[in-house]
């Protein structure tokens, strides 16, 4: 019957080991991984000879259907996940945004958005203000909803940003709950000044976005968050490390033994800011995200940091807006909705820039696209491994195939693609088949 599957003859890759083996799956769970597994003819067999059999990608950082900057991100939990599956990612972790400051209402709203899901997902939660209610609700989220990571915004003054005083309260609460504190690290007050300055100077185009919030402001906030986490003695996860400045702060802290995790995102690893200076507004605006994509050089330095273990896992910050939405900022870059695509491109582009280029091994690739995320967010080895008992979130990666990225054929709903025209020689497949056939609702993973 259709609930039994054998993947034969591939190179099975886990984060620390690879071997040629067969993988036998029943009801969406891996039952056996052995050099040779004999099965009856009621089992569907896939030949993976010459290919890699890996745990599906886990994207630790997405924003599906996010209400942000007076609009809503166009990929929802169906289209964003369909894009993810098409690109070899089988799970993602999204950020619940509180509704008018209420964590409970925010959680309910995201549970509703996530009803459209076609793959497994998890939630972090953003904390955007602080009072006794928020503090109590955090406890509720941890104890009853399974949320174990909270993100604090040090930027977006006037909306999401919280002060150092409240950041400290939040870190202390995370510590007492055993939850992981995460930060969006940019100095929001300085960004606000930078933006005003650019507008005063008459720089209203997308390049003003980069000029108004330079890497030094990311470095400053990263250093501050790291020191405050040290002061409170709680681990810290820095989301979207986009610059050498921020990366070096993470490196220094880790070297001293502090528990700091640094997450680069695909756009920071694979792009530079040159498009932001393109004279055509639509072309430039699609690259606007925060923190900004940096000058050439930061990308290569972040890749190197990933290859040496200074940074640990790759996210995307997938948060997509159509050209019509980006055009809200045609006269003022401050109104361009922030965000770029990546959930569909992450696995292939990371393979291309990190494995094809010789910077990391195939086992490292599995670690930083899947296993490390599963470990950090407490879902390993159910996720992030090809082991007996693990979920059959399996991809077959063909290193001798090809990809050619274009908005014309991608699965996301967004009408542009920041990787437009990028080509490489890898493909992933059967994820969607395995997922569609075997993925069942697993409530422990959902939240
Ligand atoms: N940055 C973005 O570019 N989009 C979503 C939120 C964020 O911090
Ligand atoms: Zn952010
Ligand atoms: Zn984000
Ligand atoms: Zn699944």
pLDDT at 109: 98
Q: Are the C-beta atoms of residues 306 and 368 closer than 8 Å to each other? A: yes
Phi-psi region of 164 (alpha: psi -120 to 50; beta: other; left: phi over 0): alpha
- Residue 143's SS3 state is helix
**Which residue has its alpha carbon closest to ligand 1 atom 7?**
290
Q: ipTM of this predicted complex?
A: 0.91
Query: Residue 47 belongs to what H/E stretch?
Result: strand 44-47
Per-residue pLDDT of the chain (447 residues; tens, 9 = 90+): 458 899 999 999 999 999 999 999 998 899 999 999 999 998 889 999 999 999 999 999 999 999 999 999 999 999 999 999 989 999 999 999 999 999 999 999 999 999 999 899 999 999 999 999 999 999 999 999 999 999 999 999 999 999 999 999 999 999 999 999 999 999 999 999 999 999 999 999 999 999 999 999 999 999 999 999 999 999 999 999 999 999 999 999 999 999 999 999 999 999 999 999 999 999 999 999 999 999 999 999 999 999 999 999 999 999 999 999 999 999 999 999 999 999 999 999 999 999 999 999 999 999 999 999 999 999 999 999 999 999 999 999 999 989 999 999 999 999 999 999 999 988 776 544 444 443 333 333 433
Q: How far is the CA of 399 from the centre of ligand 2 (A)?
A: 32
Facing residues of 183 across strands? Answer: 152, 238
Ligand 1 pocket list (CB less than 6 A): 63, 68, 184, 289-290, 317, 319, 338-339
Distance, CA of 147 to CA of 368 (rounded, Å): 22
Distance, CA of 320 to CA of 232 (rounded, Å): 35
pLDDT at 208: 98
Atom of ligand 1 nearest to the CA of 289: 3
Q: How far is the CA of 153 from the centre of ligand 2 (A)?
A: 7
Peptide bond just before 96 cis, omega within 30 deg: no
Q: Are the C-beta atoms of residues 103 and 125 closer than 8 Å to each other? A: yes
CA distances from 165 to 127, 131, 172, 237 (A): 13, 12, 11, 19
Q: Are the C-beta atoms of residues 238 and 259 closer than 8 Å to each other? A: no
Distance, CA of 290 to CA of 267 (rounded, Å): 11
What is the model's pTM? 0.95
Residue 401: exposure state from Cβ atoms within 10 A (0-12, 13-18, ≥19) = middle
Ligand nearest to the CA of residue 152, numbered in listed order: 2
Q: Are the C-beta atoms of residues 96 and 106 closer than 8 Å to each other? A: yes
Q: Which residues contact 357 (CB under 8 A, 6 or more apart)?
A: 303
Question: What does the radius of gyration of the chain's CA atoms come to, in whole angstroms?
Answer: 21
Residue-wise pLDDT for 2-31, tens only, equals 588 999 999 999 999 999 999 999 988 999
Question: What DSSP string describes 201-223?
Answer: TT--STHHHHHHS-HHHHHHHHH
Q: Are the C-beta atoms of residues 383 and 35 closer than 8 Å to each other? A: no
The 10 Å Cβ neighbour count of residue 387 is 16
**Which residue has its alpha carbon closest to ligand 1 atom 1?**
290
Distance, CA of 251 to CA of 255 (rounded, Å): 6
Residue-wise pLDDT for 379-428, tens only, equals 999 999 999 999 999 999 999 989 999 999 999 999 999 999 999 988 77
Atom of ligand 1 nearest to the CA of 160: 8
CA angle 181, 183, 189 (to 5 degrees): 140
For CA atoms 110, 111, 114, 119, give the dihedral sign: positive
**Which residue has its alpha carbon closest to ligand 1 atom 8?**
290
- Residue 319's SS3 state is coil
The 10 Å Cβ neighbour count of residue 338 is 21
Q: Which residues contact 404 (CB under 8 A, 6 or more apart)?
A: 422, 423
Most ligand 1 atoms within 8 A of CB, residue of 80, 240, 289, 335 to mutate: 289
Closest CA to 321 of 61, 63, 60: 63
pLDDT at 445: 40
Q: How far is the CA of 382 from the centre of ligand 3 (A)?
A: 25
Ligand nearest to the CA of residue 319, numbered in listed order: 1
């Amino acid at each position: 019957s259709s609930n039994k599957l054998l993947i034969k003859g591939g190179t099975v890759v886990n984060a620390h080991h690879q071997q040629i083996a067969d993988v036998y799956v029943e009801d969406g769970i891996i039952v056996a991984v052995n050099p040779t597994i004999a099965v009856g003819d009621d089992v569907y067999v896939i030949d993976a000879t010459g290919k890699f059999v890996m745990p599906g990608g886990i994207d630790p950082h997405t924003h599906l259907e996010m209400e942000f900057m007076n609009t809503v991100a166009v990929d929802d939990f169906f289209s964003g996940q369909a894009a993810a599956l098409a690109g070899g990612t089988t799970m993602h972790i999204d950020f619940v945004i509180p509704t008018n400051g209420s964590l409970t209402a925010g959680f309910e709203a995201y549970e509703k958005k996530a009803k459209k899901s076609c793959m497994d997902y998890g939630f972090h939660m953003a904390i955007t203000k602080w009072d006794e209610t928020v503090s109590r609700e955090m406890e509720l989220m941890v104890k009853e909803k399974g949320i174990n990571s909270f993100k604090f915004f040090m930027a977006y003054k006037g909306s999401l940003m919280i002060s150092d005083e409240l950041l400290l309260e939040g870190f202390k609460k995370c510590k007492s709950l055993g939850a992981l504190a995460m930060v969006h690290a940019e100095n929001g007050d300085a960004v606000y000044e930078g933006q005003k300055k650019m507008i005063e100077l008459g720089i209203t185009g997308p390049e003003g976005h980069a000029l108004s919030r330079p890497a030094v402001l990311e470095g400053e906030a990263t250093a501050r968050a790291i020191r405050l986490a040290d002061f409170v003695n709680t681990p810290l996860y820095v989301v979207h490390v986009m610059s050498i400045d921020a990366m070096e702060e993470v490196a220094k802290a880790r070297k001293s033994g502090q528990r700091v995790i640094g997450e680069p995102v695909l756009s920071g690893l694979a792009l530079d800011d040159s498009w932001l200076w393109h004279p055509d507004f639509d072309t430039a605006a699609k690259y606007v995200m925060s923190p900004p994509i940096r000058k050439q050089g930061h990308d290569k330095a972040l890749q190197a940091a990933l290859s040496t273990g200074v940074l640990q896992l790759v996210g995307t910050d997938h948060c997509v807006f159509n050209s019509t939405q980006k055009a809200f900022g045609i006269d003022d870059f401050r109104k361009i909705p922030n965000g770029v695509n990546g959930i569909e491109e992450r696995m292939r582009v990371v393979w291309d820039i990190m494995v094809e280029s010789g910077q990391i091994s195939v086992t490292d690739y599995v670690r930083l696209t899947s296993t490390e995320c599963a470990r950090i967010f407490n879902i390993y080895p159910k996720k992030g491994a090809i082991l007996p008992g693990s979920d059959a979130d399996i991809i077959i990666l063909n290193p001798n195939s090809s990809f050619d990225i274009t908005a014309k054929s991608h699965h996301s709903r967004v009408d542009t693609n920041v990787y437009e025209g990028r080509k490489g020689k890898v493909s992933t497949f059967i994820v969607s088949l395995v997922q569609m056939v075997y993925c069942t609702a697993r409530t422990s993973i959902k939240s």
